[in-house]
């Protein structure tokens, strides 16, 4: 039996109460909207990308504790990272949240605080809450490539 | 079954023995996450009583054959049970004739059937189809699709903050262009009971036919289509103790006779050649293909069960629980109840300040309490109340006062966990 404390760890509750980077960065040049049709939740993720580096990142919207904390932890982790690092982390998080066993790979990114989201894999009805922000990130990065090239 | 109404110490004021009712539902006697199951998601689907499960078994273990065509004993038994179900349904709804009862896959299928047959006859360019702001998506989208096809406009009558239709606003939208009124009997997200007789009389005064979505009504209040004088009434079996995948469409025979068939196939024809096909009579012309025979037979068992329980008695029991639940929930700080119509069934939609309904649902489930979280397939209604989603506890004949107390305590615990 999964325990609710595995899902609602103190770190998750803290990021839900006080979401980090809950704003639109003034110089944001990428954004994507995530929509969970199951519950109607929406979030917008903003990136300020420069030379392949995420200079600033933020999000807005309303969602459950899991989706809010997931988005908040995402922004905290990715500020200052490259788009390639963000993509690698997206793949790692997707596997973690959907409970796909991963091969040992020293090259894959460390989870750190993001490990707190691992409990969601035991709650099939809540997996989409946690993956929403990460899919939105993936879309923002993909959409951003084209925009970057036109600016260059 | 007689024991269900026998007074006992567990009885409520009217001699309703809820513990005896509960014993008829095997699924209720289980633990979930280490707690006794408290099932409060009845507006989504109800649990099934033994008589319904027995009817399914009997068909599959003894009487399994196709209907209306098999000239052998099993075929005769299956056909008789299937047509018996039509007569049971007719009596249940108070319809004038069993020919006015069409079996469908559910309320959604019934509404689509009406839209694609009757709707296509009835609605033309520039016409209006009137619905209300509290409709389920299944009573919005089929009409929207019809409107797009025909160049007609979908109009929604607004509701008050309490979740009631605003009479003057409704009346104002009954115009010479209105060709059809499609309205829910009971709101799935708010519990509001619409004043159908008055609404139907007002529509009929302007010769506007009325389609009623009864999905949330049939299990919770007695329905008589002859008294209502509605033109169509649809419901789903699974919301009244029957299996999923079966439903009922009642239509006045004068309409059913004039309507074209919906789907083509076997059973709906009289004769077929490559040049032309003549159609079977009502209601068979609307039942193409082998239907959900076991589901229909089990539906009759479910309706008989509801009638033996006594819809007046179970409705009175649910009303006592609703009043208790309303009182308990309203005393919880930072809880907003959504839907406070004067006439309503046991549907309690609520939001907790600062806590998302999904989190509420997961944390209540950890205590064995099943409630729904989401938009309840009524996004326009959620927009009306300015919330993306709500939590919803919905009652049935087998719920108890102790379960309501556990819900209230559970919500308080959720607030503590998330604080």
For the segment B97-107, the average pLDDT, to the nearest whole number, is: 98
A24: Cβ–Cβ under 8 A, 6 or more apart, which residues?
A: A44, A46, A58, A60
For the segment B73-95, the average pLDDT, to the nearest whole number, is: 97
B window 10-49, beta carbon within 8 A of A: 33-34
Domains B2-47+310-417 and B53-308 alike in fold: no
Is residue A109 included in any domain, yes or no? Answer: yes
Domain range B53-308, CATH class: alpha beta
Domain residue limits at A8: 4-146
Domain count for chain A: 1
Is residue A151 included in any domain, yes or no? Answer: no
For the segment B154-173, the average pLDDT, to the nearest whole number, is: 97
Residue B203 has pLDDT above 50, yes or no: yes
Would you state the pLDDT for residue A148?
25
For B388, name the nearest residue in chain A, comparing CA atoms only. A40
Would the CB atoms of B418 and A8 count as touching at under 8 Å?
Answer: yes
Identify the sign of the CA torsion B257, B262, B268, B273: positive
| Backbone region of residue B376 per phi and psi (left: phi > 0; alpha: psi in -120 to 50; beta: other values) | left
Contacts across the A-B interface (CB distance below 8 Å): 51
Residue B7 has pLDDT above 80, yes or no: no
- Note whether A8 contacts B: Cβ–Cβ < 8 A: yes
Name residues of chain A where pLDDT drops below 70.
1-2, 39-40, 144-152
Task: Report ipTM (2 d.p.).
Answer: 0.83
pLDDT in tens, B225-283: 999 999 999 999 999 999 999 999 999 999 999 999 998 888 888 888 888 888 889 99
- Note whether B410 contacts A: Cβ–Cβ < 8 A: no
Mutation for testing the A interface, residue in B359, B391, B410 having most A CBs under 10 Å: B359
Would you state the pLDDT for residue B9?
42
pLDDT in tens, B183-194: 999 999 999 999
- Note whether A4 contacts B: Cβ–Cβ < 8 A: yes
Half-sphere exposure of B120 (CA within 13 A, CB side): 12
Is residue A97 included in any domain, yes or no? Answer: yes
Looking at the domain B2-47+310-417, which fold is it? 3.90.1150
User: Domain holding A138: CATH number?
Assistant: 3.90.1010.10
Would the CB atoms of B418 and A62 count as touching at under 8 Å?
Answer: no
Is residue A135 included in any domain, yes or no? Answer: yes
CA distance A5 to chain B (A): 9
Would you state the pLDDT for residue A125?
85
- Note whether B352 contacts A: Cβ–Cβ < 8 A: no
The structural domains of chain B, with segments of one domain joined by +, span 2-47+310-417, 53-308
CA distance A81 to chain B (A): 31
Residue B387 has pLDDT above 90, yes or no: no
Would you state the pLDDT for residue A2?
61
Is residue A119 included in any domain, yes or no? Answer: yes
Distance, in Å, from the CA atom of A149 to the CA atom of B386, rounded to the nearest integer, reads 40
pLDDT in tens, B291-313: 999 999 999 999 999 999 999 99
Would you state the pLDDT for residue B271?
86
List the Cα angle A133/B377/B123 in 5-degree steps: 130
What is the enclosing helix (H) or strand (E) of A47?
Answer: strand A41-50
Is residue A120 included in any domain, yes or no? Answer: yes
pLDDT in tens, A27-38: 999 999 998 877
Distance, in Å, from the CA atom of B44 to the CA atom of A38, rounded to the nearest integer, reads 14
Q: Give the active site residues of B.
A: 377
Which range among A113-127, B128-142, B210-224, B235-249 shows the weakest confidence by mean pLDDT? A113-127
Would you state the pLDDT for residue A122?
87
């Amino acid at each position: 039996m999964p325990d609710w404390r595995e899902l609602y760890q103190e770190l998750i509750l803290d990021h839900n109460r006080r979401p980090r980077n809950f704003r639109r960065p003034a110089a944001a040049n990428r954004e994507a909207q995530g929509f969970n049709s199951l519950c109607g939740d929406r979030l917008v993720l903003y990136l300020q990308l420069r030379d392949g580096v995420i200079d600033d990142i933020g999000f807005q919207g309303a969602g459950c504790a899991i989706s809010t904390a997931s988005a908040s932890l995402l922004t905290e982790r990715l500020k200052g990272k490259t788009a390639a690092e963000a993509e690698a982390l997206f793949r790692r998080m997707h596997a973690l949240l959907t409970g796909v066993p991963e091969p040992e790979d020293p090259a894959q990114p460390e989870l750190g605080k993001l490990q707190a989201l691992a409990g969601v894999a035991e709650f099939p009805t809540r997996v989409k809450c946690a993956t929403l922000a990460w899919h939105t990130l993936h879309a923002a990065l993909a959409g951003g490539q084209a925009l970057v090239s036109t600016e260059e | 079954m007689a024991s269900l109404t026998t007074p006992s110490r567990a009885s409520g004021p009217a001699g309703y023995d809820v513990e005896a009712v509960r014993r008829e539902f095997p699924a209720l006697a289980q633990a979930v996450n280490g707690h006794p199951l408290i099932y409060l998601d009845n507006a989504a689907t109800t649990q099934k009583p033994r008589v319904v499960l027995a009817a399914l078994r009997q068909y599959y273990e003894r009487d399994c054959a196709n209907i209306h065509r098999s000239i052998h004993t099993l075929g005769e038994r299956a056909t008789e049970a299937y047509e018996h179900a039509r007569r049971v349904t007719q009596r249940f709804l108070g319809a004038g004739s069993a020919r006015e009862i069409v079996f469908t896959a559910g309320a959604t299928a019934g509404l689509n059937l009406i839209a694609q047959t009757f709707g296509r006859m009835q609605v033309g360019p520039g016409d209006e189809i009137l619905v209300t702001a509290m409709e389920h998506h299944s009573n919005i989208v089929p009409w929207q699709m019809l409107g797009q096809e025909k160049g007609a406009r979908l109009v929604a009558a607004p509701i008050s903050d309490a979740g009631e239709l605003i009479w003057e606003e409704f009346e104002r939208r009954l115009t010479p262009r209105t060709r059809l009124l499609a309205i829910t009997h009971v709101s799935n997200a708010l519990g509001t009971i619409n004043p159908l007789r008055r609404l139907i009389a007002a529509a009929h005064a302007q010769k506007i036919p009325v389609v009623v979505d009864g999905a949330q009504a049939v299990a919770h209040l007695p329905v008589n289509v002859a008294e209502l004088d509605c033109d169509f009434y649809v419901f789903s079996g699974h919301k009244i103790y029957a299996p999923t995948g079966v439903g009922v469409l009642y239509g006045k025979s004068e309409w059913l006779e004039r309507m074209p068939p919906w789907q083509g196939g076997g059973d709906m024809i009289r004769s077929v050649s490559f040049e032309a096909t003549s159609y079977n009579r009502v209601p068979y012309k609307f039942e193409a293909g082998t239907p959900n025979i076991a589901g229909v037979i089990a539906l009759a068992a479910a309706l008989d069960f509801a009638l033996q329980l006594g819809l007046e008695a179970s409705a009175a029991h649910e009303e006592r629980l609703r009043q208790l639940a309303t009182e308990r929930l309203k005393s919880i700080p930072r809880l907003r109840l959504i839907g406070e119509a004067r006439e309503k069934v046991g549907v309690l939609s609520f939001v907790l300040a600062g806590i998302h309904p999904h989190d509420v649902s997961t944390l209540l489930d950890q205590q064995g309490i099943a409630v729904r979280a989401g938009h309840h397939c009524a996004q326009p209604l959620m927009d009306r109340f300015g919330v993306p989603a709500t939590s919803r506890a919905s009652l049935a004949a087998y719920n108890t006062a102790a379960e309501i107390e556990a819900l209230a305590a559970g919500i308080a615990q959720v607030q503590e966990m998330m604080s």
